[in-house]
């Protein structure tokens, strides 16, 4: 049954939450009194619809239904999850939570996107404080997986675990913050870097661009996949973390930083920062910067996905959850691929590189193999199919963000031989490419051809017979 999320506040963060839920198959109700809310949400969704599916090699669930509501009551009355993302004023949040709990179902979880307030502060004066906790995300919420989950003793263990389970099913990483603290965990690091950046600008040591360059070309890349302490463990060499601390610990006594102090944000300093930022990025609109940010994040996380590491491992785990377990129907062509073309598959000509067509058809063949019983367990037992020939015809351009499907048919299935035909189609049915692929069954121990296991051979022969009744796909051109 489709679940419903209620989003209270449709700004940058609320809109990101909305997109994350909606693109993972949830129905979403939105309450935001801003008359521009619909326009702003449309812009956020356009970015999310393009970028989030690029992280995956399968299609996300069918998109849920979005409903704009005029009242908080209408927004939350059938909600399974409520996410509050209103301005960071405690009086406003208390007023909103009091309204939410009047109408929300008793089983709903109520999360707050607050970056600064503790959950005990949010729960003050509520009739059902046990339903409210901090679930603090990072922008863009539809791409970045980290969620700081900060409960209090009033939240039951069951509620906390249910919240973490829901977030995980959305492809996110719930970090359980066990003790309340102002600004939680991650923003305390960001605050430290921000303070030091303000001093470097005020003292004329660095500009906004030079500070950003120091981060993006240096430690930012290391932090993106190893964090802080694992990075420094490596810096300690073979002797590890203890050696690193022994070697670099004394510098903590040196007066390098001004973290206990913050420069006054005078008009002069504010203008200096704004002018430098305009010089750095003013030639790009906010929408262009968002597109660049999203494309960079997708490319980095897909690289980590290939290594099954850090946020990439999270995407792989989520992808495994969203693939439906459907028994293949060999009475018709098999829909072996349904996905979006990611940005890292596009070359300097602005369209998908020809090597990626080979990957698409290879992935399609993997689907067919699994459908025939030659799955991961079969391969682990030492048997598989190897492609020995593939003929690809490129019929139309394919671009980043484009939805494709692949229909695969078995042309031959006997003994060691498996011949497949793939048709790659755009969303409107345009034939983008075809691939005819010949595979031989092999032993992974001898690396030579051999007969399939009896069960797989039986499946191959039965499937080939069923598909022989279908029209020859090599005669189709659209």
- What is the pLDDT, as a whole number, of residue 330? 97
Q: Is the bond preceding residue 140 a cis peptide, omega within 30 degrees?
A: yes
Q: Are residues 340 and 384 in the same domain?
A: yes
Q: Are residues 168 and 198 in the same domain?
A: no
Q: Are residues 245 and 393 in the same domain?
A: no
- What is the pLDDT, as a whole number, of residue 50? 96
- Under 8 Å between Cβ of 416 and 438: no
Examine residue 294 and state whether it is found in any structural domain, yes or no: no
Point out the domain boundary residue: 283, 316, 336: 283
Q: Are residues 33 and 163 in the same domain?
A: yes
For 1-20, b/e burial (b = at least 16 CB within 10 A) is: eebbbbbbbbbebbbbbbbb
Point out the domain boundary residue: 142, 176, 210: 176
Contacts of 244 (CB under 8 A, 6+ apart): 232, 233, 235, 236, 237
Structural tokens at position 328: 């293949």
Contacts of 418 (CB under 8 A, 6+ apart): 368, 385, 410, 412, 438, 439, 440, 441, 460
Q: How far apart are CA 98 and CA 178, in angstroms?
A: 25
Q: How far apart are CA 231 and CA 470, in angstroms?
A: 56
Point out the domain boundary residue: 231, 249, 283: 283
How many residues make up the chain in this entry? 478
Number of folded domains in the chain? 3
Domain at 241, CATH number:
1.10.1040.10
DSSP state of 344: G
- Under 8 Å between Cβ of 154 and 179: no
Examine residue 302 and state whether it is found in any structural domain, yes or no: no
Q: Comparing C-alpha atoms, which of 147, 89, 84, 143 is closest to residue 116?
A: 89
Q: Are residues 369 and 390 in the same domain?
A: yes
Q: How far apart are CA 206 and CA 198, in angstroms?
A: 10
- Under 8 Å between Cβ of 409 and 333: yes
Sign of the Cα torsion 113, 117, 123, 126 reads: negative
Examine residue 309 and state whether it is found in any structural domain, yes or no: no
Examine residue 292 and state whether it is found in any structural domain, yes or no: no
Q: Are residues 172 and 208 in the same domain?
A: no
Domain at 331, CATH number:
3.10.129.10
Range(s) of the domain holding residue 251: 186-283
Contacts of 180 (CB under 8 A, 6+ apart): 118, 119, 120, 150, 152
290-321, pLDDT tens digit by residue? Answer: 999 999 999 999 999 999 999 999 999 999 99
Sign of the Cα torsion 29, 30, 36, 40 reads: negative
Structural tokens at position 359: 């990957």
Q: How far apart are CA 309 and CA 303, in angstroms?
A: 9
Query: In angstroms, what CA-CA distances link 459 with 47, 228, 377?
Result: 43, 51, 16
Q: Are residues 193 and 115 in the same domain?
A: no
Examine residue 27 and state whether it is found in any structural domain, yes or no: yes
- Under 8 Å between Cβ of 360 and 404: yes
Residue whose structure tokens are 């029209």: 471
Q: How far apart are CA 413 and CA 463, in angstroms?
A: 8
Q: Are residues 18 and 155 in the same domain?
A: yes
- What is the pLDDT, as a whole number, of residue 476? 57
Query: In angstroms, what CA-CA distances link 87 with 140, 156, 403?
Result: 17, 27, 36
Structural tokens at position 187: 């923003």
- What is the pLDDT, as a whole number, of residue 354? 95
Residue whose structure tokens are 């849920």: 64
- What is the pLDDT, as a whole number, of residue 478? 46
- What is the pLDDT, as a whole number, of residue 386? 98
Contacts of 450 (CB under 8 A, 6+ apart): 383, 416, 441, 442, 443
Query: In angstroms, what CA-CA distances link 342 with 58, 305, 323?
Result: 11, 13, 18
Q: Are residues 205 and 118 in the same domain?
A: no
Q: How far apart are CA 78 and CA 396, in angstroms?
A: 45
* Positions in the chain short of pLDDT 70: 252, 476-478
Q: Are residues 217 and 252 in the same domain?
A: yes
Examine residue 111 and state whether it is found in any structural domain, yes or no: yes
- Under 8 Å between Cβ of 10 and 30: yes
Domain at 119, CATH number:
3.40.50.720
Q: Are residues 45 and 149 in the same domain?
A: yes
Contacts of 426 (CB under 8 A, 6+ apart): 396, 398, 402, 403, 404, 432
CB atoms within 10 A of CB 249: 10
Examine residue 78 and state whether it is found in any structural domain, yes or no: yes
Q: How far apart are CA 380 and CA 138, in angstroms?
A: 39
């Amino acid at each position: 049954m489709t679940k419903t999320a209620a989003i209270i506040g449709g700004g940058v963060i609320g809109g990101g939450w909305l997109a994350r839920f909606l693109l993972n198959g949830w129905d979403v109700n939105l309450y935001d009194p801003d008359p521009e809310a619909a326009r702003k949400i449309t812009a956020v969704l356009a970015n999310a619809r393009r970028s989030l599916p690029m992280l995956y090699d399968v299609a996300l669930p069918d998109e849920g239904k979005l409903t704009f509501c005029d009242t908080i009551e209408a927004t939350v009355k059938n909600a399974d999850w409520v996410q509050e993302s209103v301005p960071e004023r405690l009086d406003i949040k208390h007023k909103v939570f009091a309204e939410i709990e009047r109408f929300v179902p008793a089983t709903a979880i109520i999360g707050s996107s607050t970056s600064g307030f503790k959950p005990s502060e949010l729960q003050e004066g509520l009739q059902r404080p046990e339903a409210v906790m901090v679930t603090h995300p990072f922008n863009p919420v539809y791409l970045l997986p980290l969620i700081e989950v900060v409960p209090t003793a009033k939240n039951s263990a069951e509620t906390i675990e249910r919240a973490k389970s829901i977030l995980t099913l959305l492809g996110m990483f719930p970090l359980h913050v066990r003790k309340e603290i102002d600004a939680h965990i991650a923003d305390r690091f960001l605050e430290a870097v921000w303070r030091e950046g303000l001093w470097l600008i005020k003292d004329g040591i660095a500009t906004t661009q030079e500070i950003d360059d120091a981060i993006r070309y240096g430690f930012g890349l290391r932090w993106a996949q190893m964090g802080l302490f694992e990075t420094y463990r490596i810096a300690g060499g073979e002797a590890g973390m203890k050696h690193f601390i022994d070697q670099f610990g004394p510098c903590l006594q040196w007066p390098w930083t001004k973290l206990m102090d913050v420069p006054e944000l005078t008009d002069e300093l504010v203008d200096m920062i704004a002018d430098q930022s305009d010089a750095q990025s003013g030639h790009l609109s906010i929408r262009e910067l968002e597109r660049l940010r999203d494309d960079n994040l997708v490319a980095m996380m897909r690289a980590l996905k290939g290594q099954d590491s850090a946020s990439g491992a999270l995407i792989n785990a989520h992808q495994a959850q969203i693939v439906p377990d459907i028994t293949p129907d060999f009475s018709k062509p098999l829909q072996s691929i349904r996905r979006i073309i990611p940005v890292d598959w596009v070359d300097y000509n602005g369209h998908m590189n020809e090597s990626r067509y080979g990957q698409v058809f290879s992935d399609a063949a993997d689907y067919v193999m699994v459908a025939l019983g030659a799955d991961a367990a079969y391969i682990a037992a030492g048997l598989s199919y190897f492609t020995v020939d593939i003929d690809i015809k490129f019929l139309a351009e394919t671009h980043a963000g484009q939805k494709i499907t692949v229909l695969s048919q078995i042309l031959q299935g006997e003994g060691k031989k498996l011949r497949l035909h793939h048709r790659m189609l755009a969303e409107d049915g345009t034939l983008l490419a075809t691939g005819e692929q010949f595979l031989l069954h092999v032993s992974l121990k001898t690396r030579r051809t051999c007969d399939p296991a009896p069960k797989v051979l039986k499946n191959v022969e039965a499937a080939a017979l069923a598909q022989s009744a279908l029209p020859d796909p090599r005669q189709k051109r659209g």
